[in-house]
Amino acid sequence: MKSFGSASARMRGGASASLLLVIAGTRPEAIKLAPLIRALAPLRRADVLVVNSGQHGEAVRRTLAEFGLRADLDLPDLPAMPNLGAAVNYLRAELAAVVARWAPDVVIVQGDTLSAYAGALAANDVGHRVAHVEAGLRTESASDPFPEEWFRRRIARVADIHFAPTPAAVSNLLDEGVAPGAVHCTGNTGIDSLKWVLDEIGGVGLGGADVDRSSVLVTLHRRENHDRNADVVCRALLRLAAQRTNLRWTLPVHPNPRVAAPIRARLTNHPAFDLVAPMPYRDFIAHAARAALIISDSGGIQEEAAHLGTPLLVPRANTERPEGLATGFVQLVRTDEDALVEAANAALDAPRRAPLPIDEHAPFGAGNAAAFIARILQSSFTTRRTA
């Protein structure tokens, strides 16, 4: 990554390089932006400024460090806010000040988070172009899941460049009236990170011999599984633990108290459950690759599960990643105690399938999305500068 000092030179008027400003605010954003930051670093006549929005500041710092990266600018931690709208307005103003100060050629946001939405609005507020990584994901409902579906649809309205991970995502954007020339089918940068980590850990667990049939990995964090639904999932896990006494359940507990409180209240004292802090990405992937089953409402694991060869149950009403369902490794299960128990037992009893290779036929790309996006961005700002 080129230095923060290069951007300072630009502010003094002594540099002609284009400036790309990358905003990350959550762990998933950092995971999916890390390969792009690496791919942007060697671009000629381009500086890269990475901004940690402060939404989940420490998680972003730790995750970028796993990839040998760090933010150039760390904003203060997002303070407690009375509601989501207040949080959007606060972060929008903070990021607008950053964008106005550095005057980037392109502001890059990723996914469907508060930081992505606020960053896209902030760039638009002060008249700068927005590039949206992982654009075009949609469910059949404009408001479910909330706020992710709401955020990503509204980012599309202000983005100038849309990096769609799959052909279906491209179609979604075109159906909404986005100009075809602004949409690029690139694959998902999350697969770039997964490929890098699997190469680092030597594909542990992927051949089948290292699979730990007594291990189940569970994560919950999404808003639709707060409060009552978190309790429903816990009840299902307790029933499964009673039925399958050989299993050990690992739960990295999200810091949000609305999901953490029911999990801790129900499972803390049960000997079959290990409640742990959120894992580093490398450790999480190694654990997921060895597990007999994953139960998670995460979006990223829906992209990864097929390449780990691990069956995944998703306790949600819908998904913006139908490609994962098509692999047969991912199954949507309504957040209902009986439904979860039935689906988990079926998955645990089924024969283990070989993982899908990360190649040109992979549903979310061949692990080269970041390089593709970097080339498009370079062409974009070169064309703009010479026009």
What are the angstrom distances between the C-alpha of 183 and each of 93, 110, 171?
28, 15, 10
pLDDT of residue 257: 73
Q: What percent of the chain has pLDDT over 90?
A: 77
Residue 387 in this model has a pLDDT that exceeds 80: no
The answer to whether residue 293 is domain-embedded is: yes
- pLDDT tens per residue across span 230-239: 889 999 999 9
CATH code where residue 328 lies = 3.40.50.2000
> In this structure, are 222 and 138 located in the same domain?
no
Quote the pLDDT of residue 229: 81
pLDDT score recorded for residue 10:
40
Q: Mark whether 210 and 313 lie in a shared domain.
A: yes
205 close to 286: Cβ distance less than 8 angstroms = yes
Does the structure show a pLDDT above 60 at 148? Answer: yes
Let me know whether 214 and 142 are in one domain: no
Average pLDDT over residues 16-27: 92
| Residue 192, domain member (yes or no) | no
* 73: Cα separation from own chain's centroid: 21
262 assigned to some structural domain? yes
Average pLDDT, the chain: 90
- pLDDT computed for residue 39 by the predictor: 97
- Residue 326 φ/ψ, nearest 5 degrees: -65, -20
Mean pLDDT score, 110-136:
97
Q: What percent of the chain has pLDDT over 70?
A: 90
Query: Measured in whole angstroms, how far is the alpha carbon of residue 178 from the centre of its chain?
Result: 23
- Asked if residue 355 is part of any domain, the answer here is no
Q: List pLDDT tens digits, range 255-267.
A: 777 778 888 888 8
pLDDT at 2: 42
Type of residue found at 307: H
Domain that holds residue 242: 203-349
Residue 118: inside a domain, yes or no? yes
Active site residues: 112, 134, 148, 221, 223, 254
Same domain, 43 and 182: yes
Mean pLDDT of the region 169-173: 98
Q: Which two tokens stand for residue 8?
A: 């300072």
For the cut 60, the answer to whether the pLDDT of residue 13 exceeds it is: no
Bridge-based pairing of strands 312-315 and 330-333 is: parallel
CA-closest candidate to residue 345, choices 317, 313, 316, 322:
313
SS3 273: strand
In terms of domains, do 225 and 97 share one?
Answer: no
Domain contains 362: no
* Residue-level pLDDT at 4: 38
In this predicted structure, the answer to whether residue 184 has a pLDDT above a threshold of 60 is yes
Distance of alpha carbon 235 from alpha carbon 240, whole angstroms: 9
Give yes or no for residue 144 having a pLDDT over 80. yes
In a domain, 361, yes or no: no
pLDDT digits (tens, 9 = 90+) for 190-231: 999 999 999 987 765 555 555 667 899 999 877 665 667 888
Task: Give the tens place of pLDDT for each residue, 259-315.
Answer: 788 888 888 989 999 999 999 999 999 999 999 999 999 999 999 999 999 999 999
The answer on 216 and 156 residing in a single domain is no
- Cα separation, 301 vs 308, in Å, equals 10
Residues 92-117, mean pLDDT to the nearest whole number: 97
Same-domain check for residues 69 and 134? yes
One domain for residues 271 and 160: no
Q: What is the pLDDT of residues 308-340, one digit of tens each?
A: 999 999 999 999 999 999 999 999 999 999 999
Q: Return the pLDDT at 262.
A: 82
Q: Is the pLDDT of residue 101 over 60?
A: yes
Average pLDDT over residues 12-37: 86
Q: In angstroms, what CA-CA distances link 132 with 24, 104, 110, 322?
A: 12, 15, 6, 20
Which residues, including other chains, have CB under 8 Å from residue 116's CB and lie 6 or more apart?
23, 25, 29, 109, 110, 132, 151, 152, 155
152 and 209 together in one domain: no
Predicted confidence at residue 382, as pLDDT, reads: 61
- Is residue 235 domain-shared with residue 314, that is, in the same domain? yes
For 358, phi then psi, to 5°, come to -90, 95
Q: What mean pLDDT is predicted for residues 32-42? A: 96
Tell me: do 207 and 182 sit in the same domain: no
DSSP assignment of 131-195: EEET-----SBTTBSTTHHHHHHHHHHH-SEEEESSHHHHHHHHHTT--GGGEEE---HHHHHHH
Closest CA to 348 of 387, 372, 313: 313
Q: Nearest 5 degrees, angle CA 310-CA 316-CA 319?
A: 80
* Total domain count, the chain: 2
Tell whether the model's pLDDT for residue 35 goes beyond 50. Answer: yes
Q: What is the pLDDT of residues 352-386, one digit of tens each?
A: 899 999 999 999 999 999 999 999 998 876 655 54
Confidence (pLDDT) at 1: 41
Confidence of residue 8 (pLDDT cuts 50, 70, 90): very low
> What average pLDDT does range 104-108 have in this prediction?
97
From CA 288, how far away is CA 331, in angstroms rounded? Answer: 16
Same domain, 264 and 314: yes
Q: Which two tokens stand for residue 108?
A: 């890059």
Residue 165 forms part of a structural domain: yes
Longest CA span, the chain: 69
Where does the pLDDT of residue 11 fall: very low under 50, low under 70, confident under 90, or very high at 90 and above?
very low
